[in-house]
Structure 1
């Protein structure tokens, strides 16, 4: 099964955490139109979202 990501908007919760930041890096390779990241920074770090 293929999922079409290109030109879509994606919402990622927990995107500043270790796993979330890795997921975002991989999603960026699929060329989405926009990625919206929501995180409360309890365990995440702004450094993980430097891109």
Structure 2
């Protein structure tokens, strides 16, 4: 499970953050546009889930 916690001051400047991956913090502006519960790729852009691969 991935997580990103960002603490900002009254002016909107980042005071502190904690992330499971630095990629999440680096692409935070892209991540803000993705609705909660939706899929996103490694650049934090919204994408569709991949299809399940058949075993047979």
Same topology, TM > 0.5: no
TM-score band w.r.t. shorter chain: under 0.3
Normalising by structure 1, we get a TM-score of 0.24
* More helix as a share of residues: 1
Choose 1 or 2 for highest CA Rg. Answer: 2
